[in-house]
Amino acid sequence: MEIITWTKSFSVGVKEMDDQHKKLIAMINRLIEEQHTLTEPETIAELLTGMTDYALEHFRAEEYLMSEYGYENQARQVKSHEEFIARTMDFMSSTEIGPNILSKALLEYLKSWLVGHILNEDMQYKAFFAHKGVS
Ligand SMILES: [Fe+2]
């Protein structure tokens, strides 16, 4: 599985959000890169928990910015963020996969969700924040 490469096309025009997206991408990339060498359940659980904790922190910051400026699609964003956390938690506790196992399905989900979310949903606020003078 290829890692995610952040390019200019990922930029939402707000530096703090771009920086947080880059960090989240780096955390998911680490899981992709080390998927075959990570065997210690505790380490996998730690990395996944660290990633979801950071995602929550990022979502909070993003939603705060949206509410500060009255972004009209905030409710949809909140729903989407909640779904990501819930789905990731489901993967982590799935008895089918087994706890603490880095499955291909989980990695594919993390990667496609984040890329799709940034490029489709977050990109929709780019013009909005630019218009408000937020960069
Ligand atoms: Fe978002």
Is the model more confident about 41 or about 130? 130
Rounded mean pLDDT of 65-69?
Answer: 98
Nearest to 128 by CA among 14, 9, 20: 14
CA of residue 39 to ligand 1 center, whole Å = 31
73 in any annotated domain: yes
pLDDT band at 128 (very low <50, low <70, confident <90, very high): very high
Q: How far is the CA of 8 from the centre of ligand 1 (A)?
A: 17
Tell me if 11 is assigned to some domain.
no
**Has residue 52 been placed in a domain?**
yes
In a domain, 96, yes or no: yes
In a domain, 112, yes or no: yes
| Residues spanned by the domain of 102 | 41-131
- Residues, CB-to-ion distance under 5 Å, ligand 1: 77, 122
Q: Is 118 exposed, middle or buried (0-12, 13-18, 19+ CB in 10 A)?
A: buried
Looking at the structure of the chain, the number of domains it has is 1
Distance from Cα 19 to the centre of ligand 1, integer Å = 13
In the prediction, which pLDDT does 97 show? 54
Answer yes or no: pTM beyond 0.85.
yes
- Which CATH number goes with the domain that contains 64? 1.20.120.50
